Amino acid sequence: AQTVTQSQPEMSVQEAETVTLSCTYDTSENNYYLFWYKQPPSRQMILVIRQEAYKQQNATENRFSVNFQKAAKSFSLKISDSQLGDTAMYFCAFMTHGTGNQFYFGTGTSLTVIP
């Protein structure tokens, strides 16, 4: 079975500080893709960052970076210089190529940035 686990239901961070959100997954597939989505109070789902499992280099998007450990099946998200606009629910997800590009989501981590 394909599963995604986000073990931190809630987190908080001081503005301008760094925070890391954890994500682990389980799959028997060798080729897959990993994503972090952000859901602010507006409810919109926004892609934050993505990583191909066959790439060893960790993805980076401005203040967002990942620590991808394939052997450990771990995919954590680091947010540097946290801003008030980073307050949101964050979902980890991975995609495999079965019929229909199957996506599997974690239960989310609610992040609050404290001014």
Contacts to another protein by CB under 8 A: 4, 9, 31, 33, 35, 42-45, 47, 50, 52, 91, 93, 95, 97, 99-103, 105-108
Nearer to another protein, 63 or 97 (CB): 97
Residue 108: left if φ>0, alpha if ψ -120 to 50, beta else—which one? left
Q: How far apart are CA 79 and CA 95, in angstroms?
A: 22
Q: Which is nearer to another protein, 65 or 110 (CB)?
A: 110
Q: How far is the CB of 86 from another protein (least distance, A)?
A: 19
Q: Choose between 50 and 78: whose C-beta lies nearer to another protein.
A: 50
Q: How far is the CB of 50 from another protein (least distance, A)?
A: 6
Q: Identify which of residues 4 and 82 has a Cβ nearer to another protein in the complex.
A: 4
Question: Alpha helix (H) ranges present in 1-115?
Answer: none
Closest approach of Cβ 25 to another protein, in Å? 13
Q: How far apart are CA 21 and CA 66, in angstroms?
A: 9
From the CB of 18, what's the least distance to another protein, in Å? Answer: 25
Dist CA 109 CA 38 (whole Å):
10
Instruction: Give the Cα separation of 24 and 87 in Å (integer).
Output: 22
Q: How far apart are CA 73 and CA 4, in angstroms?
A: 10
